Structure 1
Amino acid sequence: MLTLYHAPNSRSSRIVHLIHEMQIDDQIDIRTVAIPRMDGTGHADPANPHPEGKVPLLVHDGVEIRESNAIILYLTDMFSDSGLGIPVGHPLRGRYLTWLAYYGNVVEPVYLLAFTKLSHPMLTASLRDVPAVEKTLSKALSENKYLCGDSYTAADLNLASIFGWAPDALPQDPLIRDWFTRCADRPARKWMMERDKIAAE
């Protein structure tokens, strides 16, 4: 039994998007929960078993899987026939893992620092900065249509999600903008956004 705990218009939305993209909606019970929001709305929900009250949380037969990157890898490995992941042994497996880790370890922290206007040489040296992230992304997209070659994967879904939530952060670089447009135009993403809109009403 697979259960996803999800709050509309949050980080767990990309997991809902992924589930629909993979066409495994009938195999996962998506339970809507509340979370405390940055604007002061929302609240801790006793129905959410996440130890920090956050989302996403995937529970598989009683075992909790937290963090988007881990959940994405877990689902794309478990449902490998979906084509959204890259299996062990494939030449591009390492690239796929790299982009999943890069999002959580570098991209989101860097953009959060930029949004809050926090700056320190140690942070830049350790985490990089927005120009460094944009350069890395542009170089990858100058070589391939998507992050792991010419096919869309969950790595694209995950990394593109930050520009979906913060469109003002989308770089002017045409390679990145064209890639984001391809990712944003996916029917599964539009379905997720409509689902979240209804659920949030």
Structure 2
Amino acid sequence: MLTLYHAPRSRSTSIMVLIEEMGIADQIEVIEVTVARGDGSGAPDAKNPHPEKKVPYLTDGTDSVRERGAIIAYLTDRFPDAGFGRPVGHPQRGAFLSWLFFYQGVMEPLLVLDWAKIDHPIVQATFRDMKTVVTRLAEALDGQPYLLGDDYSAVDLLLSSPFQWLPDAAPDNPAVKAWIDRYADRPAMKAIAERESAEVQA
């Protein structure tokens, strides 16, 4: 059985939202673990098999998957009928994978560096800058509600997810803001956010 190692209110929350969206909660065992957090709270959890004790971490028998983009590709390929991915042979397969890798390789590093107030010509040469990220998002959302067209997909979930936790980083672009709001209004996002808030308060 698939097993997801998850820490509430962390990067793995977006995978919990994806599982809710796809209706596959009965196919995945979720094991909650603690993680060391940026504010100094938390600690690595011995029961977390991730080599760096981070989340999310997905295991499938003896196989394992880490990094959110890879986990999203794995789950959407494993459960194609849920309709949140673009399977091999789909005309948008390349675009789907490109957005996943754009997030992991460009957008998230830039968000972290921007939050840490770190800038350098080498950073811009390697990762571009947040203005470029916003431009790419705005171009994709020009005349359509989601990154791949009229239908919401897992790439919308992944790329809009950081702005739920870092609202001050949300771009000042009407199309991008509306796209972020559409994600926030989805029942799966609201359900997981309410569940995790209740767990924190308990």
SS at match of 1:148: coil
Percent identity between the two aligned chains: 50
> Could you tell me which residue of structure 2 aligns to residue 79 of structure 1?
79
Give the TM-score taking structure 2 as reference length: 0.97
What amino acid does structure 2 have at the position aligned with 1:119? D
In the alignment, structure 1 residue 138 sits paired with structure 2 residue 138:
yes
> Which residue identity lines up with residue 71 of structure 1 in the other structure?
I
Counterparts in 2 of 1:6-17, with a 5 A limit? 6-17=6-17
Q: SS of 2:5's equivalent?
A: strand
Find the counterpart in structure 2 of residue 56 from structure 1: 56
- For residues 117 and 133 of structure 1, the distance between their equivalents in structure 2, rounded to whole angstroms, comes to 17
For 1:171 and 1:120, the matched residues in 2 are separated by 21
What does 1:1-201 align with in structure 2 at a 5 Å threshold? Answer: 1-201=1-201
- Per-residue CA deviations over 1:25-68 (Å, capped at 9, x if unaligned) read 01100110000111111011111111100000001012111110
Structure 2 distance, partners of 1:195, 1:101, is: 29
State how far apart, in whole Å, the 2-side matches of 1:142 and 1:96 are: 17
Secondary structure of the residue aligned to 1:51 is coil
C-alpha separation in 1, matches of 2:196 and 2:2: 20
For residue 23 of structure 1, what is the amino acid of its counterpart? G
CA distance in 1, matches of 2:28, 2:175: 35
Backbone CA RMSD of aligned residues = 0.9
- Aligned-residue offset at 1:98: 0.6
- Where do 5+ consecutive residues of structure 1 fail to align? none
Counterpart code for 1:31: I
* CA deviation map 1:159-199 (0-9, x unaligned): 00111110011111100011111111110001111121233
| Whole-angstrom CA distance in 2 between matches of 1:20 and 1:32 | 16
CA distances 1:85-122 after superposition (whole Å, capped 9, x unpaired): 01111111111111011001000001111111111111
Distance 1:116 1:15 in 2: 25
Distance in structure 2 (CA, Å) of the matches to 1:22 and 1:180: 19
Instruction: Measure the CA separation in 2 of the matches of 1:198 and 1:105.
Output: 33
Q: Separation in 1 of the partners of 2:171 and 2:44? A: 35
Structure 2 gap segments, 5+ residues each: none
User: Could you tell me how far 1:200 is from its partner in structure 2?
Assistant: 2.6
Aligned pairs, how many? 201
Q: Distance in 1 between matches of 2:200 and 2:30?
A: 14
